[in-house]
């Protein structure tokens, strides 16, 4: 899995999940329950992770949907 994007915006996360589901790209939202630690302030961003084989397709999908500004310039590779 690779990180597609990271955001605090719940609407963006919901929209991205919808796009990925429609395109049948395997994904999950990491750090979704971290709000318990930050007191539900939304300080800690959530990461949308996608299957490595579908990463470039998912990135292209986000750009086509107008979310290119949300994507990191360089893909974040897992360590």
- The CATH number linked to 17 is 3.30.70.790
Q: Is residue 54 part of a domain?
A: yes
pLDDT on residue 25: 96
**Domain total of the chain:** 1
Residue range of the domain that includes 6: 2-70
Q: Is residue 79 part of a domain?
A: no
Confidence of residue 57 (pLDDT cuts 50, 70, 90): very high
pLDDT on residue 38: 60
Task: Give the model confidence (pLDDT) of 5-50 as tens digits.
Answer: 999 888 999 999 999 999 999 999 998 777 666 655 667 888 999 9
Cα separation, 55 vs 20, in Å, equals 11
3-state helix, strand, coil in the chain (%, to 5): 40, 20, 40
pLDDT on residue 74: 72
Q: Is residue 76 part of a domain?
A: no
Q: Is residue 41 part of a domain?
A: yes
Q: Is residue 10 part of a domain?
A: yes
Q: Is residue 25 part of a domain?
A: yes
Cα–Cα distances (Å) from 66 to 34, 43, 60, 62, in that order, read: 27, 24, 10, 6
Q: Is residue 49 part of a domain?
A: yes
Q: Which two tokens stand for residue 11?
A: 């609407």
pLDDT on residue 75: 65
């Amino acid at each position: 899995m690779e990180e597609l994007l990271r955001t605090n915006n719940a609407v963006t996360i919901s929209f991205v999940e919808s796009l990925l589901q429609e395109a049948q790209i395997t994904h999950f939202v990491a750090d979704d329950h971290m709000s318990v630690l930050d007191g539900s302030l939304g300080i800690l961003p959530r990461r949308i992770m996608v299957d490595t084989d579908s990463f470039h397709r998912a990135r292209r999908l986000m750009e086509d949907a107008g979310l290119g500004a949300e994507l990191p310039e360089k893909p974040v590779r897992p360590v």
